[in-house]
Structure 1
Amino acid sequence: MLQEDNPTRAFIADAVASGRRHLPLEVNPALASLSALLVESGKNELVIRFTAPRSATQGNGVVGGGTLATMLDLAMAMAVLAQLKPGYTCATISLTVNMQSAGPEGHFIAAAKVDRIGGQVAFAQAQLYDAGRSRLIANATSSLAVRAVRA
């Protein structure tokens, strides 16, 4: 049985279509836990600000790699969801993350771009920067399964 739509897809597609900026992305727990904020969007690209909580820092004061990878994964998924038709969703099937420098607790900016959406698989890339976008923290690529939403 087909569910009508993925609520996250509907939310981000509407936000992008209407040109919304500085929009809190509290539509699901993963985004809310990182205080995600849609900064801007363009053709095939989203810019999202994430906030790493103190609980995500390691003993050396930097944010753990898993949290940084989650930010990149969420940004790429949101970029793909923004372009899917109603009734479709995506799920990460491959994620490659390359850490470039340490990221201290606080804000991060993710710029995610959709490279291609095929019938069953989408491809995306993202870069994660410090709050001022002056330092690259990590970059990633992913492939995402595209499928109909199921109840």
Structure 2
Amino acid sequence: MHNIMTEWATIESRPDNPDRAFIHELLEAQARDVSLDMNPALTSLRAKLLAGNAGALSIGFTAPEYAIQGNGVVSGGTLASMLDLSMALTLLSKLGHGRTCATISLTVNMIEPGHIGGFIADARVKRLGGRVAFLEADLRDAMGSRCVASATASFAIFDVRA
């Protein structure tokens, strides 16, 4: 028993990804409709945890005015960012203390034009390995009726560096 307690204390003393810790706290509290303003990218897209559990999250986003292209639709890069961020947060929801991730590859398929306003990303962990994870996500309009884009991605998993 002493070895298990010593090992746990060692794990807890390692540096952690604060975004990972925050997502875990929200899920443990079964929080909903919580702003995710942990970094400038999430803040600029007004990201909000809508629902979910470890490995599957729904995250709301609002496309900012500056993301509109000349043809009146939200830029593909902004939609791709929403998908990438939602998958990264979903992966963090499955990782343990002291672990973090980074996108290795991202494939986005634009299906319908995205118009200014709200979006909902539903992201899922498809496979979680020791060093690499595979995820997928769908991005719908705020009403949930139109799938605007979908994505798959692979992420590297590694220890947080001090």
Shorter chain as denominator, the TM-score bin is over 0.9
- Indicate which of 14, 17, 34 corresponds to 2:25: 14
Greater fraction helix: 2
Aligned-partner residue type, residue 144 of structure 1:
F
- Please, which runs of 5 or more residues in structure 1 have no aligned partner? none
Q: Does 1:97 align with 2:69?
A: no
C-alpha distance after superposition, 1:51-94 (max 9, x if no partner)? 00010000111000000000000000000001100100000001
Q: TM-score, normalised by structure 1?
A: 0.96
2:107 & 2:41 partners in 1: Cα distance? 19
Partner SS state of residue 72, structure 2: coil
Checking the alignment, whether the CA contact within 8 Å between 2:54 and 2:93 is kept in structure 1 is no
Greater fraction strand: 1
Q: What percent identity do the matched residue pairs reach?
A: 55
Partner SS state of residue 138, structure 1: strand
Higher relative contact order (CA 8 A, sep 6+): 1
**Match of residue 137 from structure 1:** 148
| Shift, 1:117, TM fit | 1.0
Equivalent runs, 1:98-137 vs 2, <5 Å = 98-137=109-148
- Structure with the greater alpha carbon radius of gyration: 2
C-alpha distance after superposition, 1:7-41 (max 9, x if no partner)? 11110111112211000001111111100000001
- Please, which runs of 5 or more residues in structure 2 have no aligned partner? 1-12
Aligned-residue CA RMSD in angstroms?
1.2
1:16 & 1:79 partners in 2: Cα distance? 11
Query: Which 4+ residue blocks in structure 1 deviate beyond 3 angstroms?
Result: none
Stretch moving more, 88-97 or 11-20:
11-20
Partner SS state of residue 126, structure 2: strand
**Match of residue 31 from structure 1:** 42
